[in-house]
């Protein structure tokens, strides 16, 4: 029986194994990224049209720089500026990193936050020395760029940072280099979104022994509330990996290891859950269209067999799924297609691929 129902619309980093945490503080920074234990209740939404044309290896980096894992992508309010979070050439997953060794952008002179036009022309960058392991990126209505730094090294990381479009640091949430579960601490935060009034919502936790909650702050960074803990029930999470807000102000949380999207109001009241968009690594909403990336089904999530990895497109109004862009690579033992995604003003989709270390563009029509 499906868990899906019509939405109530008010008023109009990945590996196949768990990292064993040691006593050393360094292990607290490399928190475990784990796979799922819960199957979906819906029949797979696999037999859907694909009205998109694929442009592989989108985006040219300056000076011969090579792409590392690209964890996230966002579109500026102009609909034509593309921001990408790239891990400074890093291609290793956390479980492949030697205890105490630098990783990600730690010690790198490279900027992890990259700016492009929609054709892939490089326009600028920032963030060198400020970010360890970018996991999420979000651009607010004023064009400010929010970065979620999911791991820590050398006294940095485990934070959410807000930058101006030219890279000036405006606001910091969380304690640098110190994972925790307090009101101003994170443990492997994954994603962030802001409401029109400036309230901030952070999806905190990446599975395993990390947190499993949503944390709400006001626009100046003062803690308001939190909700959720590890579990499978309504309002419980197992890897809240992505978060987005629709035009009605509802929060869509990608509860990845539970193979579902949970929908809440801004006070944390549970409204609905959807499983028809498969196993959500990334969610992007613009207008009343929802884009959901599944980068793990049938590989890192063997319990989600029968579901095709890829990008599903549909409606936030009635939950219908219109299209599926299948994962372009058969990479059955790891993450493959887009983990983060965004869509420009023309409806073209940009996918950030952790496992393939590249950006892809999908042209509509």
Strand stretches in 43-97, DSSP E: 52-55, 70-75, 81-86
Question: By mean pLDDT, which of 69-83, 85-99, 267-281 is the weakest?
Answer: 85-99
Tell me, what's the pLDDT at 23?
30
Tell me, what's the pLDDT at 265?
99
pLDDT by residue (tens digit) across 210-240?
999 999 999 999 999 999 999 999 999 999 9
pLDDT over 90, % of the chain: 76
Q: Which residue has the tokens 């029968």?
A: 306
* Cβ(279)–Cβ(301) below 8 Å: yes
Question: By mean pLDDT, which of 37-51, 167-181, 197-211, 348-362 is the weakest?
Answer: 37-51
Which phi-psi region, left, alpha or beta, contains residue 174 (left: φ > 0; alpha: ψ -120 to 50)? left
Domains detected in the chain: 38-53+276-364 (2.40.10)
pLDDT over 60 at 20, yes or no: no
Tell me, what's the pLDDT at 18?
35
CA angle 257, 209, 244 (to 5 degrees): 45
* Cβ(152)–Cβ(161) below 8 Å: no
Measured CA to CA, the distance from residue 257 to residue 280 in angstroms comes to 9
Number of H helices, E strands in the chain: 1, 24
């Amino acid at each position: 029986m499906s868990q899906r129902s019509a939405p109530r619309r008010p008023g109009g980093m990945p590996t196949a194994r768990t990292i064993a945490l040691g006593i050393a503080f360094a292990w607290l920074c490399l928190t475990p990224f784990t796979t799922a234990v819960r199957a979906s209740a819906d029949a797979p939404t696999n037999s859907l049209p694909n009205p998109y044309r694929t442009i592989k290896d989108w985006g040219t980096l300056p000076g011969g720089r090579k792409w590392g894992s690209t964890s996230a992508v966002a579109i500026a309010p102009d609909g034509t500026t593309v921001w990408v979070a790239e891990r400074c050439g890093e291609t290793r997953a956390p479980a492949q990193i030697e205890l105490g060794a630098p990783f990600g952008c730690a010690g790198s002179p490279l900027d992890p936050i990259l700016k492009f036009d929609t054709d892939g022309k490089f326009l600028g960058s920032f963030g060198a020395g400020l970010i360890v392991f970018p996991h999420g990126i979000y651009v607010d209505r004023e064009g400010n760029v929010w970065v979620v730094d999911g791991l820590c090294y050398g006294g940095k990381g485990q934070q959410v940072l807000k930058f101006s479009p030219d890279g000036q640091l405006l606001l910091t949430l969380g304690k640098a280099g110190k994972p925790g579960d307090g009101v101003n601490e994170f443990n492997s935060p994954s994603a962030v979104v802001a409401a029109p009034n400036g309230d901030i919502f952070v999806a905190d936790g990446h599975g395993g022994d990390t947190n499993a909650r949503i944390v709400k702050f006001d626009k100046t960074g003062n803690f308001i509330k939190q909700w959720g803990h590890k579990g499978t029930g309504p309002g419980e999470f197992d890897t809240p990996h992505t978060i987005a807000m629709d035009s009605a102000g509802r929060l869509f949380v990608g509860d990845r290891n539970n193979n579902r999207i949970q929908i809440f109001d801004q006070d944390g009241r549970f409204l609905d859950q959807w499983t028809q968009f498969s196993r959500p690594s990334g969610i992007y909403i613009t207008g009343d269209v929802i884009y959901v990336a599944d980068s793990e089904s049938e590989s890192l999530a063997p319990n989600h067999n029968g579901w095709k990895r890829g990008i599903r497109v549909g409606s936030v109004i009635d939950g219908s799924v219109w299209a599926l862009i299948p994962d372009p690579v058969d990479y059955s033992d790891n993450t493959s297609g887009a983990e983060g995604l965004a869509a420009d003003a023309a409806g073209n989709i940009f996918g950030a691929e952790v496992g393939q270390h590249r950006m892809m563009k999908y042209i509509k029509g």
